[in-house]
Structure 1
Amino acid sequence: MSVAQKNSAGPAMPSSQEFSSANLPEHLSDRDRFYLWRDIHFAEVGMVEVGISEMPFEATLQASVIGRLTWARMSGTVNRVTRTPQSIRTNSLDAYLLVMNLGQSVIGGTYRRNDVVMETRSAFLDACQPQQFMGGDHNVWANLVLPRKILDDRFARIEERQGLVIGSSNEALGLLHNYLAMVDTISPLPGSALIDHIGDTIIDLVGLETGAKGDDAELANTRGLRAARLQAVTKYIRSNYRNPALSASSIGLRTGLSARYVQDLLASTGDSLSERILELRLQDARAMLMDTRYQEKRIGDIALEVGFNDISYFNRSFKKRFGCSPRALC
């Protein structure tokens, strides 16, 4: 059950690619479009057997290389994925796959003759063993391809966790979902320090969510969870900074952290919570003041809209930040 690199020694695809059934010839029948898509999938990605539901065929494959890892998502009416001993021999992959169900349908099947059920937002660690899984009419399959040596070296006896179903309530898995969503919005340069940091954080979170033990797992708890928690906190702030009642306590309630921990996380970046919120509100107000769509709007109303409840404080803060008053900018 994988969308993976052909050879873990190096990527079989560019740093990012998308392959969609929408790009196939329109004159073909639904069944022929599926056969063509399947053949291209075999050639470009790997030998796994796939089937489709009774719904009209559609499938989109998105894949990104993150350093030594590959992050891939397949959505559409593909509802059956089978890895046979023959396909394993044909497409040998010295890697673990963290397989995730990101759709609304339950995915169930067998893994090495053991029954496996993945509810939505759950995952399991796959070491490329024989398996067959069935989903609903429309599914979102996703996985991370993680070179076996990296995980084996970092987490003692992690191979014993393969086939483990990881529930949606697992904190590290939830943080990993959020972290990967953030990764999808940026394009770090291959070989950069940023891409190395992203890859290390992902590996740490995978080790944590599988319950890996050992000294490296303790280090992962410090590195991976803290980085992902910081990302969750900053994402919540960016989405809610206009709320005048936004505080460390309210952020903590929504992210499952204490107010003190939220403050410590942000302090470690060099900006306090109040500084971060103030900057976002000022930048928002400045953008609105420069936008002709809001030229009839009063400055005080703009200040209130972006989260300020004290107009004098807004004016002072704006002038200190940008070197002119809001009115002068207008």
Structure 2
Amino acid sequence: MWREVYGHTVARFEIEPLNDAPFHAEVTLRGLPGLGVACGSRSDASYRMTRKIAAGAPDNFLFSIVTGGVGTVSQFGREVTIGAGSTVLVSGTDPSVCTIRNGGRFLTLAMSRERIRPHLADLDAALARPLMEPTDALQLLSGYLAVLQDASTLSTEQLAQSVATHLTDLVIVAAGGTPDAVARARERGVRAARLHAIKADIARNLAQRDLSAELVAARQGISPRYVRSLLEADGSSFSEFVLAQRLALAHQLLRDRRHFDRAVGEIAFEAGFGDLSYFNRCFRRRYAATPSDVREDAKRRRGE
């Protein structure tokens, strides 16, 4: 079934296992305007695009980020080794062979050729040649894709189009776009991915009571001023965004039955508040109810 359904109708590859190890495959697919996203892991196998399959394949480029395992990619007489942290851009309409070993994990973008070809400085130099050194755009792209894989279905066509544009921008920067294309991409896609990375960083560190723009900036390798400017352009200051996220986390925990037996102060502490009276004031202002009221309402709704 993996060969016939996924190989022949979805991914357009002839698939052959490399050994007798137990078969494994886990792939998540997401469709965006002019762009497809695939991520997952697979047992050791060879994925071969023949001339026959390539002739009927969509006119795409495949941009892959290897997140685990090792392997090789061959196309146009070139063979490159891929491993964790490697990336490679290949043509989706020309014969190629990709071998994966050691439980290869990957993130792949399938992008229409017309979407990126006019923006690459040297297409021949980009194809079947990995980006050997991690780049700023590549790191942002990986983080942006990880956020998307955890997110629910994108709610509007406009949002889906915006995300597809941002991903395209990041690939153009990572793959060596023309100066004008890179400038546009950095202004648009890189800024969007930076903002996602900053928000994700804050969400992971809400319990850190000395959380600051300086600490986030140091982890992200950018300036505190840039952190603040990106959040302000999105509609809030750094402190406003952190407070909103901490309140949302506390609200979520208070309504979760698994935390009904915990003290309100303990939950406030976990959400990053060090002053219980300040937490109570902010919470009432945000939700027009006390933390205890919110918990009791959740209990009533659950019949407890």
Bin of the TM-score, shorter chain as denominator length: 0.7 to 0.9
Q: How does 1:192-203 map to 2 (within 5 A)?
A: 192-203=157-168
Matched residue SS, 1:187: coil
Distance 1:86 1:303, change over 3 A: closer
Shift of 1:186: 2.5
Instruction: Say yes or no: does 1:83 pair with 2:49.
Output: yes
Deviation at 1:73, TM superposition (A): 3.2
Does structure 1 residue 64 correspond to structure 2 residue 17? no
Q: How many angstroms apart in 1 are the aligned matches of 2:11 and 2:254?
A: 53
Measured on the aligned residues, the alpha-carbon RMSD in Å equals 2.4
2:128: which partner in 1? 163
| Paired residues of 1:69 and 1:146 also in contact (CA < 8 A) | yes
Are 1:130 and 2:95 counterparts? yes
Taking the TM superposition and a 5 Å limit, the aligned residue runs for 1:123-272 are: 123-128=87-92, 129-167=94-132, 169-184=134-149, 185-189=151-155, 192-272=157-237
Answer yes or no: is 1:310 the counterpart of 2:268. no
User: Cα distance, 1:169 vs. partner?
Assistant: 1.8
CA contact (8 A) 1:79 1:139 kept: no
| 3-state SS of paired residue (1:229) | helix
Percent of residue pairs identical: 28
Three-state SS of the structure 1 residue aligned to 2:98 is strand
Pick closer, same or farther for the CA change 1:292–1:198 going to 2, 3 Å. Answer: closer
Equivalent residue letter for 2:84: T
**Does 2:73 match 1:119?**
no
Aligned length: 292
1:17-47 Cα offsets, whole Å, 9 max, x none, are xxxxxxxxxxxxxxxxxxx421223442254
TM-score by length of 2: 0.86
Which residue number in structure 2 is paired with residue 3 of structure 1? Answer: none
Scaled by the length of structure 1, what TM-score is found? Answer: 0.80
Q: As a proportion of its length, which structure holds more helix?
A: 2
- Counterpart CA distance in 1 for 2:268 and 2:106 is 44
Cα displacement (A) at 1:79: 2.2
SS of equivalent to 1:314: helix
Q: 1:61: Cα distance to partner?
A: 3.6
Instruction: Output one character per residue of 1:65-114: Cα deviation in whole Å (capped at 9) or x when no partner.
Output: 1111111235221421223334323x3432211123222x1222433222
2:131 alignment partner AA: I
Q: Any gaps of 5 or more consecutive residues in structure 1? A: 1-35
Q: After TM superposition, give the deviation of residue 320 of structure 1 in Å.
A: 2.2
